[in-house]
Amino acid sequence: MARSYIGVDIGASALRAVLLQKKRGAFTIARCRTAPFSFPAVSPAVMSRTNDFDKSQLIEALKPLLDGFAEGEERISLSLPESMGRLVLTEIDTLFKSKSEGREFLRWRLKNLLPLEPADIHLDYQVLKQGGTSQQLLVSLMSRQVVEVWEDVFDELGCFVSVLDFHALNCFNYYSALFDGGNDFSFICCEDGILNFFYFADRTLSYYRSRVTKEKGENLFQEIQRSIIDCRNHHEAILQNPLYFHADADFGLTLFSSLNSFFSGRTVFLDAGLEKFFQKKADCPAELFQSLAAAVGAAQRLMADR
């Protein structure tokens, strides 16, 4: 029997879940579900506000999404909005002997940037680039209380949160094979009212900006332009390199024309193209496939851990 891998993506307006199965080195989508949802935007500056999280409401919303979904699999990979935490790029002149040593060092090193006391922060990191005595890191920060709320919610539902990361990073993970041949490029993820802008130089994340925004159309394009201009202050060649753009299906193609002109024809609109991965007819409408990329990317994280 094929092993199952579950990704759950919490959005401001929808809940999304996928169940992947791995066969012959590739994956198929055995099941997917979506459900409408209304969730408050949480500012990182006040990300300890657990009163924004009604456990009973979350359980009530997630229960029909996951009932009969897991096929006996308890582990899930959870994708949360960037507004629930903070991503920080940092470079340090030391190497760590272990992951736990790295976390403690970074709590001390970044204490002036933390919105909470270091002991109250759930911190994790990825090594982006490592030299003989230095390394560049992408650090994710969340309130420990908020993380515990989500762990408790899924525990009530009979699941265990094994991997926890942010929406745009899971979305990037889904498309990662497309970027293998590129050294310098931009990646934009704009969904659920959150704009995330990444710039990679020499295959290393060198710039990151995230904004909660309700803007659409021309106003959203202007917000993206602000990210590009700010990035250009540090990386002059940004407009000479490709831009990969993932967005809500309803307005992504509208923005594509403006972005493609700005990048002189180097913009690629990322179509999730999930229909080719389904084992059978999907149990959610085709117009929602684009929004499932982060949930699939999250489930792939579990697959990679095996």
The helix (H) or strand (E) run that includes residue 126 is strand 121-130
Superfamily of domain 180-269 in the CATH hierarchy: ATPase, nucleotide binding domain (3.30.420.40)
Cα torsion at 116, 118, 124, 127 (round to 10°)?
110
| pLDDT (0 to 100) of residue 124 | 83
The CATH number of 84-141, from 3.30.70, 3.10.450, 1.10.10, 3.30.1660, is 3.30.1660
The CATH number of 4-83+144-172+273-305, from 3.20.20.80, 3.30.565.10, 3.30.420.40, 1.10.260.40, is 3.30.420.40
- pLDDT average per 10 residues of sequence, the chain (306 residues): 87 90 82 82 48 79 90 90 85 88 89 80 83 86 88 94 91 87 89 90 87 80 93 93 87 82 92 85 76 94 76
At 8, list the tokens.
């759950």
Whole-number Cα distances in Å, 258 to 202, 245, 251: 26, 12, 12
Residue with tokens 């991965």: 277
| pLDDT (0 to 100) of residue 12 | 79
| pLDDT (0 to 100) of residue 49 | 53
Whole-number Cα distances in Å, 87 to 54, 151, 156, 169, 206: 25, 20, 29, 10, 12
